[in-house]
Amino acid sequence: MPVQKALTVSERNLLLKQQNHLKLMDSVISHTKDAIMITEAEPQQEPGPKIIYVNKAFTTMTGYAASDVIGKSPRILQGPKTDKNELRKMREAMIKWQPCEITILNYKKDGEEFWLNISISPVADEKGWFTHWISIERDVTESRKLETQYNEIFQQVPDVICTVGIDGYFKKVNPAMCKLMEYTEEELLAKPLVKLIHPEEQARIMTSLEKLNKGDKPFYFENRCITKSGKVKWLAWTSTPASEEGLIFTVAKDITDKKELEDLLHKATNLAGIGGWEFDIIKKKAYWSEMTKIIHEVPADYKPNLKKNINFYKGATEKRAIRQMMKKAITSCIPFDTEIQIITAKGNLKWVRLIGEPEFYNNVCIRIRGSFQDIDLHKKSELAIEALLRERNTILESIGDAFFAVDRNWVVTYWNNVAESALGKAKEMMLGHNLWDVFFDSIDSHSYKEYHLAIKENRIVRFEDYYAPLEKWYEVSAYPSDGGLSVYFKDITENKATEALLIDSEKRYSELFQLSPLPNWVFDVETLAFLDVNQAAIMHYGFTRAEFLSMTIRDIRPLGEMPGLDEVLGATQRRTQFVKQGIFTHRKKSGELIKVEVQSNSIIYNQRSAKIIIANDITKNLAYVEAVEIQNEKLKDISWMQSHLIRAPLARIMGLVGLFKDTEGAKESNETLDYLLQSANELDKVINEITKRSKIAR
């Protein structure tokens, strides 16, 4: 049996130190928050080196016990969504025995996806031969989600968002900036910030940025920029000072409209009338110019003084403010410039701008000079504009539509204020909760199916859906992503109601129009082209519908009536009520000319100004009336003629009766003659009446 050599004291101390070091290292590895995995060095090709050690953090993170993974390949953590390109990158580094860091999507024991940042390094023995790989792994799922949400916001917000390096070049720009500045992303990344700034402001802005960037607080500035097409855009920038990486994060709003309004107000102010005033402290006298008197609506001979002047100001607060400003001007030589309300001598409430400048001599204020400016319209406009700008900025600061986001498990991750209002669910009720647990009444609804389709097929869906509990229609757009689903929606209930009324109205119009027994058509008042015709018009005029719709109303009028048509059209275009225009000649397809009585009314047809026409063919009626009139004329001629033909024989009969009466004869004969004469006189009266009426008719 060999004799074991005794260790020296120094060797025992070294061995003890090494054992303590190993225990310390084992404790550190076991208790570190990062997962640690050690594998064999080879093989580097499939299926890869085997796992020989994992720490407690690894088992906690993945759900696998050490016994589940020891002796197996790290591929046990991979799945269908694991990035093959990242794995190839790591394999290539392992072949070269180089450290490598990648971030990939892995799978826990229960199948849950999680993002893993992996940093591997080779370990060599004392001879330099690589024996193992050590992998430091960290769960970065939450940061990855935040990054995904940031990217979604970056892509979707309407404001400009960009990152600028200290070299002055853009490092990242969002679509809103590309759209506003009219450049592609590649063009902007190749262009320094200074090239977008208006030439007149480049020096000022760059100097200011250098100073501001040396601070430690976000800074704000406004400037003009030039778009690719040469348009001038005003932008309001909020930027952070450069980070350790040398990046400046900045957000900008398009304030071009605001600036244009401000410029317009400025010009209006310069053109406004301004009156002067002066108060002599020594002499206690006040002076107002003519314009100042006009502003205060006092007579031209009005004599101002300090006491009376104070009384023009609206209330106690305004009077106190004026006294304080005057006091500071007199005692401390402090000028003032304020906008304040006055009540004029005629009782009108008016905004004025009051400027005062004290004049001192030997440290004593001897007078105050200044100006009054009537800014009533300007001020009211400014207040209205400020209200509009506040309203607009509120809209721009938030997404106009209702918006919410869910992860792949349908857990709500974002719920904006508009969504709260639209669906009556507070953020506290939604964030962190499953969407379908809250809206259980919508399971299997149209929205439910569309959302699942968007996730399943990874495509954008747009649709409309009715939500019965709130009795509302919504227009919905859903955008899938790796992190889940982003949904925008807005209330379109009123639009739906209007659309239903419009459809019903158009249906009633079509029924009345098409079922009318009289020819009806609609024509454009500008082009005179037929826009619509009913069946009665097609049957009566002989043209097909297609032929009508290729014609104008001139095509159914004889050439000789064109000047009259223009005159009638000019008159009817000035009327909006239903009017009877008169009787006109129209031409059928066969060439037959007909007389029609026309009525018209102004309407809007498919967003075009138009006239609707009802045409009543009265050709036969007119022909009948004409025939009756001709017959009447003939009867008049006959009456006239017959009255004269009958009168002559009657006169002879009456003469012979007279002769017979003068002759002596029997009494009975005379009586007979009397009867005959009486009848002749009655017949004469009838003939006289016919003659009289015939003369009147003629």
Q: At 195, which amino acid appears?
A: K
Residues 6+ apart with CB under 8 A from 324: none
The CA-atom distances, in angstroms, between 39 and each of 67, 107, 237, 242, 520 are 14, 19, 52, 42, 90
In a domain, 3, yes or no: no
Residues 355 and 449 in one domain: no
Residues 326 and 348 in one domain: yes
Q: At 425, which amino acid appears?
A: K
CA distance 462 to 286: 72
In contact, 357 and 370? CB cutoff 8 Å:
yes
SS3 282: coil
Residues 60 and 83 in one domain: yes
* Predicted pLDDT of residue 695: 56
CA distance 319 to 329: 15
* Predicted pLDDT of residue 270: 44
Give 192's DSSP letter: B
* Predicted pLDDT of residue 260: 82
CA distance 584 to 557: 9
**Chain-centre distance of CA 625, in angstroms?**
63
Of 582, 617, 652, which marks where a domain is finished? 617
In a domain, 16, yes or no: yes
In a domain, 654, yes or no: yes
Q: pTM to 2 decimals?
A: 0.31
Q: What is the strand order of the sheet 247-254 is part of?
A: 170-173, 160-165, 247-254, 232-239, 219-226
Handedness of CA 626, 627, 631, 634 (dihedral sign): positive
For 255, phi and psi rounded to 5 degrees? -115, 30
Strand ranges in 64-128 using DSSP code E only, listed in sequence order: 100-107, 113-124
C-beta contacts of 446-450 below 8 A and 24+ residues apart:
447/476, 450/476, 450/478
* Predicted pLDDT of residue 3: 46
CA distance 99 to 624: 111
Residues 6+ apart with CB under 8 A from 321: 338, 340
Residues 229 and 282 in one domain: no
Residues 46 and 125 in one domain: yes
SS3 of the chain: helix, strand, coil, percent, to 5 = 45, 30, 25
CA distance 689 to 640: 11
* Predicted pLDDT of residue 125: 80
CA distance 614 to 600: 6
* Predicted pLDDT of residue 1: 45
Angle, in degrees to the nearest 10, between helices 376-397 and 256-271: 170
* Predicted pLDDT of residue 239: 83
Torsion, Cα of 147, 151, 152, 154 (10° steps): 130
Place of tokens 């079509």: 510
In a domain, 217, yes or no: yes
In contact, 337 and 357? CB cutoff 8 Å:
no
**Chain-centre distance of CA 605, in angstroms?**
25
Which tokens hold the place of 535?
A: 């069946």
- Helices and strands (H and E) in the chain: how many: 23, 25
Of 104, 139, 174, which marks where a domain is finished? 139
Count of other CB atoms within 10 angstroms of residue 593: 12
CA distance 374 to 272: 7
Residues 487 and 515 in one domain: no
The CA-atom distances, in angstroms, between 515 and each of 501, 511, 519, 543 are 21, 6, 10, 18
In a domain, 88, yes or no: yes
In a domain, 623, yes or no: no
Handedness of CA 358, 359, 365, 371 (dihedral sign): negative
Which tokens hold the place of 370?
A: 């200044």
* Predicted pLDDT of residue 393: 38
Average pLDDT, 10 consecutive residues per value, the chain (698 residues):
52 53 50 82 81 89 91 90 90 90 92 91 86 88 75 76 86 90 92 90 82 73 91 88 77 87 59 77 89 90 88 92 92 93 93 92 90 85 72 49 88 86 89 93 92 92 90 90 88 79 65 81 91 91 94 88 71 51 86 88 82 87 77 66 59 64 57 68 70 56
In contact, 595 and 619? CB cutoff 8 Å:
yes
Residues 120 and 18 in one domain: yes
Residues 514 and 448 in one domain: no
The CA-atom distances, in angstroms, between 541 and each of 376, 513, 515, 609, 621 are 66, 17, 16, 25, 18
Count of domains forming the chain: 6
Q: What is the strand order of the sheet 35-40 is part of?
A: 51-54, 35-40, 130-139, 113-124, 100-107
Of 446, 464, 491, which marks where a domain is finished? 491
Give me the CATH number covering residue 531.
Answer: 3.30.450.20
Residues 133 and 16 in one domain: yes
Full residue range of the structural domain in which residue 240 is found: 158-254
DSSP 495-544: HHHHHHHHHHHHHHHHHHHHH-SS-EEEEETTT-BEEEE-HHHHHHH---
In contact, 235 and 160? CB cutoff 8 Å:
yes
For 591, phi and psi rounded to 5 degrees? 95, -10
In a domain, 388, yes or no: no
Residues 233 and 279 in one domain: no
Q: Give the residue among 612, 621, 633 at the shortest CA–CA distance from 530.
A: 612
Q: Give the residue among 288, 261, 258, 260 at the shortest CA–CA distance from 276.
A: 288
Strand ranges in 57-112 using DSSP code E only, listed in sequence order: 100-107
Longest dimension (CA), the chain: 213
Residues 14 and 133 in one domain: yes
Residues 600 and 642 in one domain: no
* Predicted pLDDT of residue 269: 44
In a domain, 387, yes or no: no
SS3 390: helix
Kindly calculate the radius of gyration of the chain based on its CA atoms and give it in whole angstroms.
51
